[in-house]
Structure 1
Amino acid sequence: MTTALSPAHTAAGPAPAEDPARAPGVGGPSLAAARPDPADLDPRRALRELAHWRAGTREAACFPYDAVLGHYRTVGKNAVGAELLSALRAVAAEAAPVPAGPAARLLADWLPQVVDGTHGDYDSYLGSPVYASLARTGTPTAQVLAALLGDLVAVEAATLAGAPDGRARTRAALRVLAATAQGGAAAVPPNGADDPAALAEACTRAVRAAREAVPDGVLRAVELTLTPTTRSHDELMFIRVIQIFEAVFAAVARSVGAATDAVAAGRGEAAREALEGARRHVAWTSGVFRVLTTMPKDAFAVIRANTDGRSAVQSTAYRTVETTSPELHRALLRSEVEAGELTPVMRELDDAWGAMKRTHWGITMKVIGAVRGTGGTAGASYLREAAEARLFPALG
């Protein structure tokens, strides 16, 4: 994925300015930026708590995450001063090569996201090491998605009273959450409903149900990975959306790999189940795209100009799906598994993957037009060409 899911620095000059006069919410600043806690606006609290932690026991579980995150989310990562960055980099440099225990692992995974300054990459923007560790420890993708969606819905709902323009996005996000097992089958007020309070209440119920279904450790890990580069409310949504896509890509890559292994072992039913799970994940993303389409063009211009080098072309999970899927067909040709047992679901997955890429291309044209994309790509034309590539071209 690239461009609409991957910000870049344009050649048009300096980053567009955020509009401080806008109400918090869609097209405006985040709540933290618009109504800052004085202690979070100034870096001294974070520096003081960090110094106290470094001078004490230095237990990872006691790291002052909240003070650091409070400042980052208030001013935007790109505006964090050199003194705090230097202190955090010192902590990162002193971290053990092999962290002992989950708290130390979380801290080691999280630090790259806050010490990258203005020179980060896609992984540091998303907090990919945190999500990779969750996957390695067996955390179900459904739990990660529920935590991400729950936070997205909560952040959007928090601005409804003062920014009614956010109702369409909030409703779209709530629909995606309600479609998950953890969403508690939330009732979503219909389009055109004029009562923000009713929508906010529906969001509260759905978020509560989602969070109750997710372990505290997963909720905390997801919470820590929201470190916007700007003060824009839209960037909070943007980060969560691309984290959701990345979780889906990783799940699809694992499923295709599991199907390939199952085919090699002659277990056709196991392979079919793995591919069907991958297809469901990909098809589910259509609702997530609807959330993304609520981003105003000028808001994306701000994000794009402040995230130079953080391109989703760098997504390892996406590339893995594209490059390893043909191996499944080659394994099928060598296997005792009947081709007719798997080719229908392989085609369904291929069709869903292609539809997802075409949707991405359409959103790119709508939001940013034909400007050059990230990672040296040609933007929308790159996406159009990529959408034509099949996962299983040998199927015909």
Structure 2
Amino acid sequence: MTGPAPLHRWLAHRRPTAARFPYAAVVDAYQHHGKHFIPDEWTRLLAAARERMPEVRGVQRRYLAAFLSTVLDKVDGRYDYRTYLALNLLPLPDIGDTPTPTPAARLLARRDRTHAHLLTDLIRFELAAATGTTPLPQLRPEPQRAAKRVRHALRAAMPALHRLSLVDPAVGGDLEAVARQVVAAVDADLTAEERLAMKVSMLPVSTIHDEWMFIRVLQTFEVTFALLAVDLQAVVAAVHAGHLHLAATRMSTAATLLRDSAPLWSVMATLQPAAFHGFRPYTDGASAIQSRNYKLVESLCRTPAAGRRDSPAYLSVPDVRTLITHGQTSVDDALDALTPPHTTGADSPALASAMAEFTAVLRQWRQTHYGLAVRMLGADQPGTGYTHGTPYLAHARAEPVFRHRPNT
């Protein structure tokens, strides 16, 4: 770790530029200490940098402002799930990005790139940890657990890597050789912006090894759910237009994408209980119940009933709740609005089948999440950040995905 000298030098400039901000030095400090334990000297300097933002020049100015907001979240009392995962520093699609819809293939390619980058970074970290050259040195897993983690991460990354043509489907060899080939292929393809995003989006609260994996897996899930929300919004638009075949295609694509992410649970299952309980106390205030993207997916399938809309599930994501109360249209709503009313299954067997497929995959996702949480916490314990935890997940897994019952 270089210390705060680079930050002092940046602050000393009469007109500092965003492009010259010492991101690497700041991130190295946060990884060396853990965000919860970062020395006051660093946060004072970063607060000074934020105060100077009106003077900062350069096209990266907005990104620097987002970074400073993220690293100062605990100091400001704004720490939550989104700042813990540095989601505003990752290129996630959003349902309100542009008035003109982005082509589905382009959106999928963007998601695949971020998905592959996050998992490759995890693989790189595990390979480097075997030689003791990484930050987060506490409670490093035994070699067998680390190898299992790499194997499952590779499995989770492969569909995206193949779609991007970054890895030959026939790639083979022993686990470490394949992992190194994948890391080299992805590294060679990274843009400067993507490299920066991977660097600045790893801000663990502790120095416990497994937190790196924990963050990367949760970020990867968020990338997928962000795209699923866009896909479901496209399904709504297609149903409104009467293009039920197009709606079926987009719904089926969403189901496939969610199914492809299932191996991420196997990666998460390599989390050491002692490691989880070691860093968990410092995540107080951040919980997956605050996942905006997951709630968008749920609410775009079926508008939640008043009881759920007014529960902690949606009170934790006020912007999504506002969308709902202001009339956000779900897939169910769009089907209801068709004239004459459609029964889905009778009028579009393809859409009914795709809805049933998506329902099955999402229910399995919920069940796996619940099972892993029970294994780590027990059946009656609060979750990460001391929120509603496993009792909440037990109830949420039973929530219907769609109100419409597709006649498949």
Tell me which interval the TM-score lies in, with the shorter structure as reference length.
Answer: 0.7 to 0.9
- Which sections of structure 2, spanning at least 5 residues, go unmatched? 133-141, 303-329
Structure 2 vs 1, CA of residues 186 and 169 (structure 1 numbering), >3 Å: closer, same or farther?
farther
* 1:245-297 C-alpha deviation (Å, 9 max, x unpaired): 11111111111011101111222233222212211121112100000000111
Q: Conserved in 2, the CA contact under 8 Å of 1:153 and 1:203?
A: yes
Higher mean displacement: 338-347 or 67-76: 338-347
The aligned counterpart of 2:155 is 175
Q: Give matches, 1:68-147, under 5 Å.
A: 68-96=26-54, 102-117=59-74, 119=77, 120-131=79-90, 136=97, 140-147=110-117
Change (3 A) 1:228 1:377: closer
2:86 maps to a residue whose letter is G
SS of the residue corresponding to residue 401 of structure 2 reads: coil
Partner residue of 1:391? 401
**Secondary structure at 1:356's aligned position in 2?**
helix
In structure 1, what is the equivalent of residue 256 of structure 2? 280
Deviation of the 1:216 alpha carbon = 3.1
Alignment of 1:1-396 (within 5 A): 37=1, 39=2, 45-46=3-4, 48-56=5-13, 57-96=15-54, 102-117=59-74, 119=77, 120-131=79-90, 136=97, 140-161=110-131, 163-165=142-144, 166-180=146-160, 181=162, 182=164, 184=167, 185=169, 187=171, 198-326=174-302, 327-335=330-338, 338-370=347-379, 371-374=381-384, 377-395=387-405
- 2:298 touches 2:401 (CA, 8 Å); kept in 1? yes
Alignment check: 8 A CA contact 1:172 1:291 kept: yes
Segment of structure 1 superposing worse, 262-271 or 367-376: 367-376
Moved over 6 A (4+): none
Q: Tell me how far apart the structure 2 counterparts of residues 111 and 277 of structure 1 sit (CA, whole Å).
A: 36
**In the superposition, relative to structure 1, how do residues 160 and 174 fare at CA in structure 2: closer, same or farther (>3 Å)?**
farther
* SS of the residue 2:73 aligns to: coil
Aligned-pair CA distance for 1:378: 4.0
Offset at residue 377 of structure 1 (A): 4.8
Deviation, structure 1 residue 95 = 2.7
- Give the SS at the match of 2:90: helix
Q: Is contact 2:281–2:385 with CA below 8 Å preserved after alignment?
A: no
Q: Distance in 1 between matches of 2:57 and 2:66?
A: 12
Deviation for aligned residue 1:358: 0.2
1:162-218 CA-to-partner distances (Å, cap 9, x unmatched) read: 6523111111112222232245137466xxxxxxxx433321101122334443312
More displaced 10-residue stretch of structure 1: 149-158 or 111-120: 111-120
Q: Distance in 1 between matches of 2:58 and 2:402?
A: 41
Name whichever of 260-269 and 110-119 sits farther off: 110-119
> 1:178 touches 1:186 (CA, 8 Å); kept in 2?
no
Q: Deviations over 1:200-241 (max 9, x none)?
A: 332110112233444331232122100111001100000000
> Paired residue for 1:16?
none
One-letter amino acid matched to 1:176: A
Residue equivalent to 1:23:
none
CA contact (8 A) 1:272 1:345 kept: yes
**Does the 8 Å contact 2:225/2:297 carry over to 1?**
yes
Identify which of structures 1 and 2 has the higher relative contact order when contacts are C-alpha pairs closer than 8 Å and 6+ apart: 1
Identify unmatched segments of 5+ residues in structure 1. 1-36, 40-44, 190-197
Checking the alignment, whether the CA contact within 8 Å between 2:18 and 2:59 is kept in structure 1 is no
Instruction: Work out whether residues 329 and 392 of structure 1, in 8 Å CA contact, stay in contact via their aligned partners in 2.
Output: yes
Pairwise CA distance, 1:132: 5.5
Give 1:309 shift. 0.6
Preserved contact between residue 31 and residue 204 of structure 2 (Cα < 8 Å):
yes
Distance 1:107 1:280 in 2: 35
Q: CA deviation at 1:63?
A: 0.4
Q: CA deviation at 1:50?
A: 1.3
Q: SS at 1:393's partner residue?
A: coil
**Secondary structure at 2:60's aligned position in 1?**
helix
Q: What is aligned with 1:18? A: none
Give the Cα separation in 1 of the matches to 2:31 and 2:251: 39
Q: Secondary structure at the match of 2:378?
A: coil
**Alpha-carbon distance change, 128 to 93 in structure 1, aligned in 2, over 3 angstroms:** farther
> 1:193 is matched with which residue?
none
Q: 1:51 Cα shift?
A: 2.1
Q: Distance in 2 between matches of 1:186 and 1:296?
A: 32
8 A contact 2:383–2:389 mirrored in 1: yes
**Distance in 2 between residues matched to 1:58 and 1:109, nearest whole Å:** 16
Deviations 1:45-64 (A, max 9, x none): 32x21121122231111100
For residues 54 and 251 of structure 1, the distance between their equivalents in structure 2, rounded to whole angstroms, comes to 38
Aligned residues: 344
**Quick one: which amino acid aligns to residue 330 of structure 1?**
D
Percent of counterpart pairs with the same letter?
30
Question: Which TM-score applies when normalising by structure 1?
Answer: 0.80
